[in-house]
Amino acid sequence: MKQKQKKQDGSALIMVVCLLCVFAALSLSMTVMAYQTLSQSQQSATKEQCRISAITYSQVLEQEITSEKTTEIKTYLYNEIHGNTWPYYSQGKSGHEKEDAYRHLTTHLDSLATTKFGDMSSVMYWEMDGDYGEIVLVMIVASEQHNQKYSVTTRYELKKPEDAGDEEWNLDTWKWVVTWQGL
């Protein structure tokens, strides 16, 4: 009788150990699921922050470029394009390739701002399909943070005022108008 009782005590212990293993496996799987959810949530928040930063910076540049007032960037565009020191972009055309035509705008953000908004970069180039009336400026603004990246592409067309006639372009008559924006 004692031998039979010892056999039953061992099987109960095995049953308890098996139940503990099942509970340990369940708690481990719940921990892994919680980590994955947290990780996805952080990636989503970072991507959203990159999106907001890129859109905001793009809007700031848009205000500067389309402003009625003479701004630093408008002066730069006028001097570079009108002065023939900046080649237009034309894929496959020698002297007008990406490395010749792309200009990088630098942003000076301190480390705290970079941590919060991400690494901001902006590239611009212009295309010409004829004379000055067919100039298109393309601005690509990107924000990157923790392997997440978001970019905004905006196309501006150079418009000549209707009352300008055939007079020479000058900085005061250069008007940039947004024609397309890809978010």
- Residue count (the chain): 183
- Each residue's pLDDT tens digit, 107-162: 766 666 666 667 888 999 999 866 555 789 999 999 988 888 999 999 999 887 66
Residue of 39 and 132 predicted with greater confidence: 39
Q: What is the pLDDT of residue 37?
A: 94
Distance CA 107, CA 88 (A): 23
Tokens representing residue 60 in the block: 């700031």
- Which has the higher per-residue pLDDT, 13 or 123? 123
**Under 8 Å between Cβ of 126 and 102:** no
Q: Give the range among 59-68, 107-116, 132-141, 173-182 with minimum mean pLDDT.
A: 107-116
For the chain, percent of residues with pLDDT exceeding 90: 28
Given a cut of 80, whether residue 169 has pLDDT beyond it is no
Give the Cα separation of 90 and 125 in Å (integer). 10
* pTM, rounded to two decimals: 0.74
* pLDDT for res 140: 94
**Span 38-54, average pLDDT:** 90
Instruction: Give per-residue pLDDT as tens, 14-30.
Output: 888 999 999 999 999 99
